[in-house]
Structure 1
C-alpha cells in the first residue's frame, strides 16, 4: 500500500514502486521524487543514523537542501535488549511504549539506568558525527526527518517529537518503506508523512532491500562530508561508502 499523506489533503496513492529497492541510495531517490513536488524550499534534511544517512543524502542532493544527522537511540528491555520499549533523540525526552511497559510490569523510572547508558552512547555518536557542531537551525523552516524504514517506529517517534520542539514551519517524516500499522500510528505526529510502500506483511526493514549492509560510524561521516556539511547543497558522489 503506497502512502503519501500531505497535511490536510488525506491519503493518496503514489506511483508504483518496484521492490525490493536496490539499496538505500535508490530508495532515497524514490523519496526525493515525491518530496520535490511538495514545496519544501529551504528545507533541512535530518537523517537518522546510521541507515537513514544514505537515504537522506539523496533527498538533500535532489532538493538542494542542508543535510545533517539527528541521533537517536533505542531504549531496550534490560533482560532482552533487542526488544525496544522506547527511544530517545538528541534534544528530546525519552519516549516510551506505555502499553508495552504495562505488559512487562515496568515503569519508566525502572529504566533510568538504561536511559542513562543510551544517552551516553547518543552523546558519543553526536561527537563522532558532528564534531562539536550544533544541529542546524530549524525554527521556521521545513524539516524532513528521514530513515531507511519503519518497523516499530519508536526511534522515528522520538525523533519527530524532538524536532517538533524546535519550532519547524513544517515537519515531514519520509521513509522508503514501513509497516502499515506503524505508518498509521505516526500520522498524527507530523504534518506530512511520505512512505511509498507500507505493506501489512512487514517483518523487517532489510527484507525490502537487495543490499542492506550494516553501516558504521565511518560511513556516516563519509556521507556527511560528501554532502558538504555543515551547509550548502550536496555535491554528486559515488556509490554508497563501503559498497562494492
Structure 2
C-alpha cells in the first residue's frame, strides 16, 4: 500500500519500532528525505533524532547510478560491482570522491553549525531512510554509527528492494522494512507525495525534534516531583 507522504511512512514505521522506546535509542536519518520519516518515529518513541550525513558517489555522466557513499566521518563505501559494470576508472573514482568530500564539509556545516552530534557511545542507533533502491548509502551510515560507539545498529525503511535488504541484513544487527515489493522500479511510486525535501525543512524538523524531547523531559520531571510530593503527604 503506498504511503501518503514521508510523515505517514514515519508514523507507520513507528508502530513497528515501539520496542525501541528507550533513552539509549538514537535515530539517525539520512538527509534529506529520511528526516521527515525519522521525525515521526522520534516523536512517537520520545527518543533523540540526529542525522547521518552521507554523500552519494555517482557515476560520471550517469548521475542516477551510485557506485559508492561517503560518510561525514570520512569513511567510504564502494560498490565494486557497479564500478566494474559502469566502467568507472580509477581517476574518475578518485575525482568524484574528492569532489564529494568538499561538498560533504559544506553539508555538515549547513546541518550542524556549532551543534555537536548526538553521542552514540553505548546507544542503539537506528538508521532511518525514506526508501532504498541500493544498499550503499545506508551501509555507510551503519558503519559510521558503529565507528562512533553504537552498541547496536538497526536499519529502518518504509520500502526497499530485496537486494538491498539482503546486503544490509548482513551488516546491521536488525532490519525493519514495511514493504519489499518483488518488482521495484523506484521509490517514488510508493508515495502519493514524494516531493523533494529542502534542507531548510529537514533542519527545522531536527530542531523541532530536539525541542519536543526537551519539553517531554521537563514534563516528566515535573510529573515525577508532583507524584513524589503527593506520596509524602
Report the TM-score range of the alignment, normalised by the length of the smaller protein. Answer: 0.7 to 0.9
Count of aligned pairs:
217
Alpha-carbon displacement from aligned partner over 1:69-120 (angstroms, at most 9, x marks no partner): 1111110111322211111111142111111212234455541121111112
**Paired residue secondary structure (1:196):** strand
CA–CA distance in structure 1, aligned partners of residues 216 and 106 of structure 2: 25
**Paired residue secondary structure (1:176):** strand
Preserved CA contact (<8 Å) 1:227 1:233 = no
Match of 2:205 among 220, 223, 234: 223
- Structure-to-structure mapping, 1:78-157, within 5 angstroms: 78-106=60-88, 110-157=92-139
What displacement does 1:234 show?
Answer: 7.2
What displacement does 1:37 show?
Answer: 2.2
- Structure-to-structure mapping, 1:1-244, within 5 angstroms: 19-38=1-20, 40-106=22-88, 110-228=92-210, 232=214
**Paired residue secondary structure (2:13):** helix
CA–CA distance in structure 2, aligned partners of residues 110 and 121 of structure 1: 17
CA–CA distance in structure 2, aligned partners of residues 29 and 220 of structure 1: 17
Alpha-carbon displacement from aligned partner over 1:27-85 (angstroms, at most 9, x marks no partner): 11111111112465421111010000000101111111111111111101113222111
CA–CA distance in structure 1, aligned partners of residues 213 and 113 of structure 2: 14
Flag the structure with larger Rg: 2
Q: Calculate the TM-score normalised by the size of structure 2.
A: 0.86
Q: Calculate the TM-score normalised by the size of structure 1.
A: 0.83
Q: Where in structure 2 are there 5+ consecutive unaligned residues?
A: 218-233
Alpha-carbon displacement from aligned partner over 1:196-229 (angstroms, at most 9, x marks no partner): 1111111111110111111111111111121126
Alpha-carbon displacement from aligned partner over 1:116-165 (angstroms, at most 9, x marks no partner): 11112121111111112221110111111101001112211111111111
CA–CA distance in structure 2, aligned partners of residues 100 and 84 of structure 1: 8
Preserved CA contact (<8 Å) 2:124 2:152 = yes
Q: Where in structure 1 are there 5+ consecutive unaligned residues?
A: 1-18, 236-244
Moved over 3 A (4+): 38-41, 104-110, 229-235
